[in-house]
Amino acid sequence: MSIKLRVNGVERTLDVDPEMPLLWAIRDALGLTGTKYGCGEALCGACTVHLDDQPVRSCVTPVRRAVGRAVTTIEGLSPDGKHPLQQAWVELGVPQCGYCQAGQLMTAAALLKAKPKPTDDEIDQSMAGNLCRCGTYTRIRAGIRKVAGGQP
Amino acid sequence: MSRVGLVTRRSFLLGAGLAAGGLTLGLFGDEASAADPPAPGALGPGLAPNVMVHITETGVVTIVCARSEMGQGVRSSVPLLVADELGAVPERVVVVQAVGDKKYGDQNTDGSTSIRKFDDKLRRMGAVARTMLVSAAAKQWNVKPDTCEAIDGAVKHAASKRSLGFGELVKAAAKLPVPDEKSVVLRPWAELRHVAKERLPLLDGHAIVTGTGAYGADIKVEGMLYAVVARPPVVGGKIAKLDKAKALAVPGVKKVFEMPVPGKPWGHQPWGGVAVVADSTWAALKGRAALEITWDHGANAVYDSAAYETKLLASVRAQGTAHRTVGDVDAAMGKAAKVLEAEYLVPHLPHLPMEPPAVTAKFDGGACEIWAATQNPQLARTEVAKVLGIGEDKVTVRVTLLGGGFGRKSKGDFSAEAAFISREAGAPVRVQWTREDDLKNGYPNTVSAQRLRAGLDDKGRVVAWHQRTAFPPIGTTFGGPPEPSINDLQQGVLDLALDVPNIRSEACRAEPHARIGWYRSVYNIFHAFSAGSFIDEIAHARGVDPRDAWLEIVGPARKLSLEDLGIPKLANYGESLDKHPVDAGRLRGVIERVTAMSKWADRKTSGRALGLAAHRSFVSYVGVVVSVVRDERRKVRVDEAWIAIDAGRVVNKDRVHSQLEGAIVMGISNAMLGGVTYKGGIVEQPNFRDAKIARIGDAPRTIHTDIIASDAPPGGVGEPGVPPVGAACANAIFALTGQRVRRFPLLAGVKV
Ligand code: FES
Ligand code: FES
């Protein structure tokens, strides 16, 4: 079945099962592999993308639900890889293996858009769905604080 | 649109045994760092005195990284060490990832070895090239080589103010004989200009934050299909009945076939089951769900964690094989004024790398190419060759970035499995493991019981120390006996510095029912938990400060000989005792440092519940203090942690700090939340809902890390941070609640 999606500002047409999770559609059909699989059950956040600025877990979002909405993946978070969070992440050396970080960045970007100066508790609440097995949480928090204009 | 992972001649088909596009060192993740890799075919003419270093006539230095990047920062560290020894400008150094090949030496990125085992060897590779460049320049100038210096990508002669760039010297240098690597002179450590700085750039930082880094699942080759495998839920299980019809009816499913049944010992063999190959991951998953399989679970269906615990405890309540003996424990216990005893339990701990295994395999014309998130590409090569029945020379294993490894990805099973599936499917295939697969069909850490007894004299001093440890050793996965060996006991039992006149440490039998493997810091996790908790228990029983008890029991600063330790030999992580002694002074050093950092002495007045533990592993020493609180929801959690490491010389300080931060969080996952259990031979926690690991709110708000300045030979860094965290947590919980919890997950045992 033919599905039309707007991904990172570009119209794309895919021939996939409308029930296919958005995760596999963007990874396998569109070749955008920055969005990661970690659990498939909305438990880890590795697959986080934005649907109209809202962070969603693409592993449990059927691709049909994205029709008519703007899908943003890590590849489209900024045109040049210079979103303030991306810069902060590199400067503070946030990533270890990096596998969770696309999801962390997408969740953090949505948080800051909704709440430019989050408290530590608000950071913890918003980021609670994003696991990092390497344990980069203190630096993730520092990165968000830095962009929010506080102390890293 | 991003083309990451799409295999092009540029990015992967580099020939000359090299894989993965190069990135330049020295840039802070600027897009310019994604420099073009060297041209296909080879690295072109130039100076290539060994397999690790190549310099072109334009002065571009290529350094091969033969170790796998899994978050420890090896790609940002090891090549820089070579470059520094050479005298290169980091901006002109390109790093390329090696394929699996014995010519690179040991590539198994495991056991915290990348720096400790290779720092000398790697530096010599750089020094050989430098020596040749310097000789070429000296010859041209007619001066003595030792009056020249290689620095900033050029050879300079200070007296005559002459300078020639590396590129200009390449032609002449390449004609010189290659000096023996043992004969070249290394720079004094202090003269290295880039390593050991506070902050070094992350080679893959920009790629990671823009989603362009290629991990195991991000590789796409022409004509590729997607596969998942329905593996027997119990290790050693088989298919009793299979109906493929419904799976084959799923649109997109191309092929369904049975995998070979592995025989004992499991080793690195694929786990068996049924492969479903389709035109998308989703179709493969739907096809797998539609399979109708009746399993014959086999002998391990008896595995039941609750019942097994009774067996483990019975094992440590009976005499085992003594591997460490000092004095006479039984006589000393008999005379002791007081005897304390305690038993500790640690369940299987799963690796749970955020990236479950994922491999792309292309079997074509009798040869096989593999792209794998593997810690051990040489082993993957061997296992792929074995499963296909072809020569290793027909197998190429390319290493992607790893989304975490922690020991899981040092196994060959998932690479061999993908290779087999590609051959049967008649197409290149990417095999994706789901989280359930990772949990049910992995190689979790083993399960253990510990029994410790201490005899105290009338002044409270420990005069006897008796430890028994039971766990199925990893050797059982490879056909070994079900009793820990003397080499297994190196991990925190035999090398525990004790100033105690009577010691006995025994290994006790435990039958395996799971396919166990090594997980970050391995047996040290439970040995450090039991010993570190027990020392705290002794302190409280005596009414003394746990810090003082630690220092007293470890004893004065001294290096312990085999005789002092009461052991015939010590595996010592493959290191000699001369180079890496068991040094009580260094263990004391980290205890003293971490207690100073955490203001341990003020804990009563500041009202904090702190727990302390320390441990030697991978020939490094780590001290940990954690603070626990009971939050508004009456949940006990770690709010702050301090960790100090003495790992000898370190190469990349920031990555050491980040490894320690990660170790605290992983240690908290292990101790507070972690572990999986079996029922009917099947893991009872199939996904993160039940297999719990720390989320951001479970991790401390602040982690203070410190590296003890040292000139000692480098020790491990990736693993040693983890072991002391468990006991530190248990000891802090005792300080907070007065409850002594002797089993992981600790939180399950705390009544709030
Ligand atoms: S893969 Fe979607 S939340 Fe884990
Ligand atoms: S950086 Fe490895 S999982 Fe987060």
**For range B49-59, the mean pLDDT:** 90
Q: What is the pLDDT of residue B2?
A: 29
Q: B689 to chain A: which residues are within 8 Å by CB? A: 41, 43
pLDDT, tens digit (0-9, with 9 covering 90-100), for B85-128:
999 988 888 888 888 888 888 888 776 666 666 678 888 999 99
Gap between the Cα atoms of B739 and A104, Å rounded: 36
For the stretch B270-324, pLDDT in tens is: 999 999 999 999 999 999 999 999 999 999 999 999 999 999 999 999 999 999 9
Is the peptide bond prior to B546 cis by the omega test (within 30 degrees of 0)?
no
- Range with lowest mean pLDDT among A93-97, B40-44, B478-482: B40-44
| pLDDT score of B9 more than 50 | no
pLDDT band at B40 (very low <50, low <70, confident <90, very high): very low
The predicted pLDDT at position B39 comes to: 37
> What's the pLDDT score for residue B19?
35
* Cβ neighbours of B284 (radius 10 Å): 31
Residue to probe by mutation, ligand 2, list B70, B209, B354, most atoms within 8 Å of CB: B354
Sign of the dihedral defined by the CA atoms of residues B184, B187, B192, B195, in that order? positive
Q: Given ligand 2 and candidates A36, A43, A89, A96, which is best to mutate, with the most ligand atoms within 8 Å of its CB?
A: A96
Q: pLDDT value at position B102?
A: 86
Residue B227 has pLDDT above 60, yes or no: yes
Q: Stretch B680-692: mean pLDDT, rounded?
A: 97
B435 touching A, CB under 8 A?
A: yes
Cα distances (angstroms) measured from residue B45 to each of A20, B48, B58, B479:
50, 9, 10, 49
Burial B491-524 (b: 16+ CB within 10 A, else e): bbbbbbbbbbbbbbbbbbbbebbbbbbbbbbbbb
What pLDDT was estimated at residue B90? 84
Pocket of ligand 2 (CB under 6 A): A 95-101, 132-134, 136; B 71, 354, 404
State whether the beta carbon of A152 lies less than 6 angstroms from ligand 1: no
Give me the pLDDT at residue B99, please. 87
Pick left, alpha or beta for residue B693 (phi over 0 → left; psi -120 to 50 → alpha; otherwise beta). Answer: beta
Please tell me if the domain spanning B216-299+357-432 has the same topology as the one spanning B305-349+444-749.
yes
Q: Is the pLDDT of residue B176 over 80?
A: yes
Q: Does domain B18-209 have CATH number 3.30.365.10?
A: yes
pLDDT for the residue B200: 80
Q: Which residue has the higher pLDDT, B558 or B674?
A: B558
Determine the distance in angstroms separating the CA of A35 from the nearest CA of chain B, rounded to an integer: 7
**Using a CB-CB distance cutoff of 8 angstroms, which residues of chain A are in contact with residue B33?**
none
Report how far ligand 2's centroid is from the alpha carbon of A26 (Å).
21
Fold of B305-349+444-749: Aldehyde Oxidoreductase; domain 4 (3.30.365)
Alpha helical stretches, state H, B191-320: 205-209, 245-248, 281-290, 305-316
Q: How many residues does chain A have?
A: 152
Residue spans per domain, chain B: 18-209, 216-299+357-432, 305-349+444-749
Q: Which of B613, B619, B614 is nearest to B647 (CA)?
A: B619
- Amino acid B17: pLDDT: 32
The CATH number, out of the four listed (3.30.365.10, 3.30.470.20, 3.40.50.620, 3.30.2270.10), of the domain defined by the range B216-299+357-432: 3.30.365.10
Residue among A36, A97, A119, A132 with most chain B CBs within 10 A, to mutate: A97
Q: What's the rounded mean pLDDT across residues A24-50?
A: 97
Percent of chain B at pLDDT exceeding 70: 93
Domains of chain A, CATH where assigned: 2-76 (3.10.20.30), 84-147 (1.10.150.120)
User: Is B428 in CB contact (< 8 Å) with chain A?
Assistant: no
Indicate the pLDDT class of residue B193, thresholds 50, 70 and 90: confident
Q: What residue's CA is closest to ligand 2, atom 3? A: A132
pLDDT for res B113:
65
This prediction has a pTM of 0.94
Q: Which of A111-125, B11-25, B674-688 has the lowest mean pLDDT?
A: B11-25
Distance A92 CA to ligand 2 centre (A): 14
Cβ of B404 within 8 Å of Cβ of A131? The answer is: no
pLDDT band, very low/low/confident/very high, at B31 (cuts 50, 70, 90): very low
Interface test with A, best of B3, B69, B210, B436 (most A CBs within 10 A): B210
* Cα(A92)–Cα(B604) distance, integer angstroms: 34
Q: Do A38 and B354 touch (CB under 8 A)?
A: yes
Structure tokens at B30: 């600027």
Q: Is the pLDDT of residue B198 over 90?
A: no
Between the CA atoms of B332, B334, B335 and B339, what dihedral angle is there, to the nearest 10 degrees? 90
Separation of B403 CA from ligand 2 center, angstroms? 7
Return d(Cα A14, Cα A2) in angstroms, integer: 6
A90, B205: Cβ pair inside 8 Å? yes
Query: Residue B1 pLDDT more than 50?
Result: no
Please report, to the nearest 10 degrees, the dihedral formed by the alpha carbons of residues B316, B317, B323, B329 taken in order.
Answer: 140
Return the pLDDT at B10: 29
Decide if pLDDT at B436 tops 80: yes
User: Chain-wide mean pLDDT for chain B?
Assistant: 91
pLDDT digits (tens, 9 = 90+) for B718-751: 999 999 999 999 999 999 999 999 999 999 999 8
Residue B716 touches partner A, C-beta closer than 8 Å: no
Task: Answer whether residue B133 shows pLDDT above 50.
Answer: yes
Query: Cβ contact (<8 Å) for B696 and A140?
Result: yes
The Cβ of residue B174 has, within 10 Å, a number of other Cβ atoms equal to: 18
Q: pLDDT at residue B233 above 90?
A: yes
| pLDDT exceeds 50 at position B37 | no
The helix (H) or strand (E) run that includes residue B372 is: strand B367-372
